[in-house]
Amino acid sequence: MAAPDSEPRRRTAVIQDSTLKKFIRRYTPEHRTIRENRHLNRIFGRLLHDPHLLHLNRRSVSMAFLIGLFWAFVPMPFQMIPAALFAILLRANLPISIGLVWISNPLTMPPLYYACYVFGAWLLDTPPLDVEFTLTWEWFSNELGAIWQPLYLGSILVGLIAAVLGYAAVRLLWRLHIVRFVRRKKQERAKRQRKAASGE
């Protein structure tokens, strides 16, 4: 009777060093880089050393996408700080949570936030203003007062949509990867058994 319950755990274990996990590691920041970030280290200190924050499993990675994608769309300085906080609280993968925040960078920021602002203005049925987006304290003090309602409405809604889609996509892709991996292993085992039975 214990076999059905133990099967998912075995399937999770067999992909410990799979191509999927190697791909994820390749494109995420190193944990050492995060620990040495002076802003994060000053706020979170030894919490950044928690080994649970480095786990690469379906839950931790999907939660990291949920966290990182949401905060990437929230226009504010130091987005890494709330992303790290939620990763610590929810035991999500910390490097992925922080790495995804950099979707909004100096190159992508103007079109990204302007699109969110226009979306928010459309929802509020107000004409959008011609503004240029830069995440600096000067910009916040000079420009935010006139556009903050449509900007944050659009950004939070788009962030929630992106976060949920990212979360669901990771869960689905991870599941498909496990199914494909297990199927391949079964085929290889059956092939070895046929060879053994034929005396090859």
> What pLDDT shows up at residue 44?
77
Instruction: DSSP for 108-136, please give it.
Output: THHHHHHHHHHHHHHHHT-PPP------S
Contact 91, 56 (CB under 8 A): no
pTM (2 d.p.):
0.75
> What pLDDT shows up at residue 10?
45
The DSSP secondary-structure symbol of 104 reads: S
The DSSP secondary-structure symbol of 18 reads: -
How many whole angstroms separate alpha carbon 73 and alpha carbon 113? 7
Q: What angle do CA 193, 196, 200 make, to 5 degrees?
A: 135
> What pLDDT shows up at residue 62?
94
Q: What is the pLDDT along the chain (200 residues), one digit of tens a residue?
A: 444 444 444 444 444 446 656 656 665 666 666 766 666 767 677 777 777 787 888 899 999 999 999 999 999 888 989 999 999 989 999 989 999 999 998 889 889 999 999 999 999 999 988 877 776 777 777 777 788 899 999 999 999 999 999 999 999 988 888 888 788 888 778 777 777 777 65
> What pLDDT shows up at residue 64?
95
Instruction: DSSP for 46-93, please give it.
Output: GGGG-GGGG--SHHHHHHHHHHHHHHHTS--S-THHHHHHHHHHHT--
> What pLDDT shows up at residue 103?
92
> What pLDDT shows up at residue 67?
97
How many whole angstroms separate alpha carbon 96 and alpha carbon 27? 9
